Chains A and B, each alone.
Chain A
Amino acid sequence: MKTKIYDLLSSVKLTVTLFLVIAASSIFGTIIEQGLTPDKYRQIFGETFFHVLKFFNIFDLYHSWWFTFLLILLSVNLIACTLKQIPRVAKITIKSGKKIDDSLFTSSQIMNTLYFKEPQSDIEKRVSLFLKSISNSLTRVSNNGVFYYFIEKGKFSRFGMILVHVSVLFIFAGGLIGAIWGFGGQMNLVEGGKSDTVYLFGNEGTKKLDFYVACDNFSLKYYKNGIPKEYKTVLTIINEDKEVFKSVIRVNHPLTYKGFKFSQASFGVAGAYNFRVKVINMTTKEENLLTLDMMNKVPVSGNDLSFAVARFESDYMGQGPAALGVLIKPGEEHDIFWLNKNSPIQRGDYVFMLNDFDIVYYSGIQVNKDPGVILVWIGFILIIVGFISSIFFEHIRVWVRVSTEKEGCEISIAASTSKNKDIFKEKINRMITEYLEGETA
């Protein structure tokens, strides 16, 4: 029973099945939008279907119990397969060459036997030249007047595939640590403001940092065609009321402090100030430019009327920025109206126009902490090293046996490779012609 379970867990059949099952189930998470509110899902799927999908955690599929289970099963499978592979590879790499026996010359991938009339000492010179053209570390053993040579190269390439598989485990481990101890969220900082609260993604509440992050300045640059070119935030880290340091973050250029990473993610309009409103008295044709801040009442052309801005929208009804103007006449109800930028509006004797204003931006900063990320980087580097060593290198082994016969001597050659047998066979044959047969032929 135990071995049956182990056989199943260490089988490549399971690997292939899991690959296909994980791939197929991942598709659902890309079709059904993840992380919406329950009400939204009820609306889309209806009450009954909603409950079915909720049971399988389809709305947060990649963190669901069953998807996590599949990933854990894949890791177990990976560990079991690797443990199974290591002894096999160790056998080939560590023990190889140590023990040379005659069966090698009848059971290897590539075999060849040659006869020479020259004396053995002469032939041995050629054999060592032949083998040293592959590598310098030549092993020579003699047994009852028969000489055995062994040479190998690229042993480590056998470990390439094991390394690739181990690095996937590193990446999984990093991902697991990140999922347990890491977090990700957003912080919207208004210019001049500061905060220590991160709003976690996936409606998971907030997280308090033990320091404050202040946004000193946010700036935007556009290309001629109106596409954003660059946006950046000047951040100050404040620890116990003391400024620790200042840093500028841009998209693709985050700041890391105490293991927290602050990335420039988005921006938006938080509000406006310094509104410039032109007021024209239609009877006197007198023009007047009011300059005012939000909720700041100013008199209109010296009489008893006054005007204020009560609200600002960066995009009011899809018509661009607008301010909510309030015209105050003593003893009468306030006259409230929206002023779109640069479009005049007449109220009684007066025409109002919003000329300009200054915008206060907020900077959307993504805050992440992931203690597992280092394992992921190690995994990434190892996977590349593993691929390179198994693609560009091969494990070559060549054995030669030289024995004296009645007339001259006999050379037997056996060779094997971890890669393409046919290409290697051609190479060995070419080398035989060059180093061994050269003059005798």
Chain B
Amino acid sequence: MNDTFIVSIVTFLYFLSAFIFLVSVVFRKDNAEKIATVVAVGGLMLHSLALIIRWIHSYQLGIGHAPLSNFYESLVFFSWSIVFIFLLIRKQYKNSLISMFSVFFAFLILAYVSLSNTLDCQIQPLIPALQSNWLISHVISSFLAYGCFAIAFGLSILYLLKKIINNNIVNLLPDTAFLDEITYKIISIGFVLLTLGIITGAAWADRAWGRYWGWDPKETWSLITWFIYGAFLHARLARGWRGIRMSLISIVGFACVVFTYLGVNYILAGLHSYLEY
């Protein structure tokens, strides 16, 4: 079966899951929450299957490589990371509204992938610079970090909504202190993964270009992101910052993530742009 076809089914499943989470929020049904989670788990399993099929397919084409090598593949994997991280930490908070936003975020990315006509979903051969054992560990750690930061971003937005407005829907959210705590936890996981992503990237750059750090825009922006989340953790752990200030840093941090991922390629030039992502 074609992996892009499976991805379109997954897109639908994530939408369905988000919708059922919404139903569970509005009608306060625990059963709906369970069904939505099952749908999300099913979606993630199919999603993983699509990745595996694409991987196998690339070997059949004689250009075998992990499906993590161009913009299309990275978006599909980004979406996978968000759902993976969300399911991993779901037990910690068990709140349908947060779940809904996480799955919906993953859905939006896949919807863009399906609808965009500029994205090339063909399996392309790897250019020499990408033919490295570091590719898999670098991309996986970076995107799992991005997944954590994406969910933290959603949580921070919800936190601000809860602080600013006061209505029935917002009241369905857990209390602000709890949101604050869970945002901090997920950012600390993301920070460790980002560190790992930068380290594997540096090791790779050393192999490919003879230097581990060259201040190219992609490297610099990953470091900027690292500093922002580093500031977040230090402000919280050592200075005891809480609340609105923290959610603002988390939002700025995610803006940096998006810029590192997309802005550098489409707005700035650098070594990485010729690698396509």
Contact = CB atoms under 8 A, between A and B. Distances in A.
Answer yes or no: are A and B bound together in one complex. yes
A223 B215 CA distance: 31
B128 A31 contact: no
Given A12-B234, A227-B124, A27 B224 contact: yes
Contacts of B217: 30
A227 B127 contact: yes
Residue of B124, B125, B228, B268 with most chain A CB atoms under a 10 A cut-off: B125
Given A13-B239, A23-B227, A261 B128 contact: no
A368 B211 contact: yes
B15 interface: no
B210 A261 contact: yes
A19 B227 contact: yes
Contact of A250 (B128, B210, B230, B264): B128
Contact of B231 (A19, A34, A251): A19
B206 A373 contact: yes
A252 B268 contact: no
A20 B227 contact: yes
Contacts, number: 106
Interface string B188-200: 0000100110010
Nearest to B188: A391
Contact of A16 (B124, B235, B264, B268): B235
Contact of B210 (A12, A184, A228, A231): A184
Contacts of A22: 227
Contacts of B231: 15-16, 19-20, 23
A368 B264 CA distance: 26
Contact of B234 (A16, A253, A368, A383): A16
A15 B192 contact: no
A16 B241 CA distance: 11
Contact of A383 (B63, B195, B221, B228): B195
B213 A175 contact: yes
A29 B220 contact: yes
Contacts of A254: 207, 210
B125 A225 contact: yes
A277 interface: no
Interface in A5-42: 12-13, 15-16, 19-20, 22-23, 26-27, 29-31, 33-34
A263 B210 contact: yes
Contacts of B234: 12, 15-16, 19
Interface residues of B, number: 41
Contacts of A373: 206, 212
- Interface size grouping (class) on chain A: 35 or more
Interface string A249-267: 0111110000001111100
B133 to A, nearest CB: 9
Interface in B241-272: 256, 264, 268-270
B209 interface: yes
Contacts of B124: 225, 227
B223 interface: yes
A229 interface: yes
Nearest to B228: A23
Nearest to B129: A251
A391 B210 CA distance: 33
A54 B196 CA distance: 35
Contact of B209 (A231, A265, A380): A265
B239 A380 contact: no
A252 B205 CA distance: 9
A230 B63 CA distance: 12
A384 interface: yes
B202 interface: yes
A124 interface: no
A391 B228 CA distance: 21
B131 A252 contact: yes
B230 A19 contact: yes
A23 B253 CA distance: 11
A229 B211 contact: no
Contact of B220 (A12, A30, A184): A30
Contacts of B220: 26, 29-30, 62
Contacts of A252: 128-129, 131-132, 207-208
A259 to B, nearest CB: 12
B203 interface: yes
A8 B203 CA distance: 35
Nearest to A225: B125
Contacts of A223: 63, 125
A387 interface: yes
Contacts of A216: none
A149 to B, nearest CB: 32
A217 interface: no
Interface in A165-222: 175, 184
Nearest to A264: B128
A30 B239 contact: no
Contacts of A339: none
Interface in A366-405: 366-368, 370, 373, 376, 380, 383-384, 387, 391
A141 to B, nearest CB: 35
Given A252-B128, A387-B192, A366 B209 contact: yes
B195 A387 contact: yes
Interface in A146-171: none
Contacts of A29: 215, 220
Contacts of B224: 23, 26-27
Interface of B: 63, 124-125, 127-129, 131-132, 192, 195-196, 199, 202-203, 206-213, 215, 217, 220-221, 223-224, 227-228, 230-231, 234-235, 238-239, 256, 264, 268-270
Listed from nearest, the 7 A-B pairs whose CB atoms lie closest are: A251-B128, A12-B238, A368-B210, A23-B227, A263-B210, A19-B231, A30-B217
15 contacts: A16-B235, A19-B227, A19-B231, A23-B228, A184-B210, A228-B127, A228-B128, A251-B208, A252-B207, A262-B210, A368-B211, A376-B212, A380-B202, A384-B196, A387-B192
